[in-house]
Amino acid sequence: MKKLITYGLLVVLAAGALSCGKTETVTQTPELRLRPVAQNPTKADPELAGTSLGTDNTYVVYLSASCDQQPQFMTGQLYSYISATTKWEASSAIGTANPLYWPLAEKLDFLGLACTPAAYTALTPAWHATTSANSVTITDWDTYAKQYDVMYAAANGQTSASNSGTVNLAFRHTMALVCFTAQASVAGAITINGITINDLEYEGTLTVDNTHTGLTATWSDFAAPANKLAYNLSGTTADYAYAVTTSATQCCQHLLVPQQAAKSVTLEYTMNGAVTSLDIVLHLPRAIWKAGYKYTYALNFTPTEITVTPSVTDWDNTPVEQML
């Protein structure tokens, strides 16, 4: 007489089988692991650096999964990098594996966020109340005060048979990156005292929607726009004082901003030997600062003029033909 217990992956338990003449067959589904990558990863502050999410768990993944029988199969489950062998696994704490396994004969939809643990704690994302992989929302996110590079990804209709139970997730950035460089024809001739982005839309609600054929991330309910000073290289807005050199060099920290139309910029600077600083409004070319792109404005000071040269790249610094 043969007793058959079916769960998924064939494991033969022979304990006692020889003496009683029975064979117990147990099938176990594979562990549900991740293979996350970041599309167009960034190269500098305050964004993700490198060509992937890395292996030091500075960035981790929070994952939701749903299927017909279990619409809340997992909700905001922490996934972290464990080892070169097991890669990314469900975790009870960062770096501590607590494996989860695929359900039987079910296709799962996945929706994930990749960010620092501090970002997830500060932003308190809300996953869909009944079908967790349908959407995630971050409400009233002050992106100026909370400069977090939050990324999102989805993979739908996945089964345990694909990639030995490993889910591939390609993460996209939720914001655009605005950057400034400066150079002068004479070293020491100019000191930048501040760069202000005028009428910046900086606080709103982000919704990542996985209920349609295309994954979308949209901003809504913006607070009133305001003039916002770019952070200096030390990461503050105080004591800006950047001495411009003859080489085009980053003159302030990059600024993550929600997708929106490009804004004008007020430049405050002092000429060598002068007591009073000068302000000038720079009207940038019309463009949309699109999420996932890096917009760099190169300031060039000569004795007679200030010029601004714009460029747009992917976040890996691959040039794009025109301002988007």
Helices (H) and strands (E) in the chain, counts: 2, 27
Which residue in the block uniquely carries the two structure tokens 């296709």?
A: 107
Q: Counting beta carbons within 10 angstroms of the beta carbon of residue 284, is it exposed (0 to 12), middle (13 to 18) or buried (19 or more)?
A: middle
Rounded Cα distance, 199 and 254, in Å: 18
First to last CA, the chain: 70
Instruction: Give residue 284's pLDDT.
Output: 95
Closest listed residue to residue 208, CA positions, set 176, 174, 258: 174
| Per-residue model confidence as pLDDT tens digits over 112-137 | 999 999 999 999 999 999 999 999 99
As a whole number, mean pLDDT of residues 240-263 equals 96
Q: Which 3 state secondary structure label does DSSP give 217?
A: strand
Dihedral Cα 88, 92, 97, 102, nearest 10 deg: -70
pTM, whole model, 2 decimals? 0.87
Mean pLDDT, residues 77-105: 94
Closest CA to 277 of 188, 187, 190, 186: 190
What distance in Å separates the CA atoms of residue 28 and residue 9, rounded to the nearest whole number? 4
pLDDT, residue 44, reads 45
* Each residue's pLDDT tens digit, 202-215: 999 999 999 999 99
Q: Which amino acid is at 187?
A: A
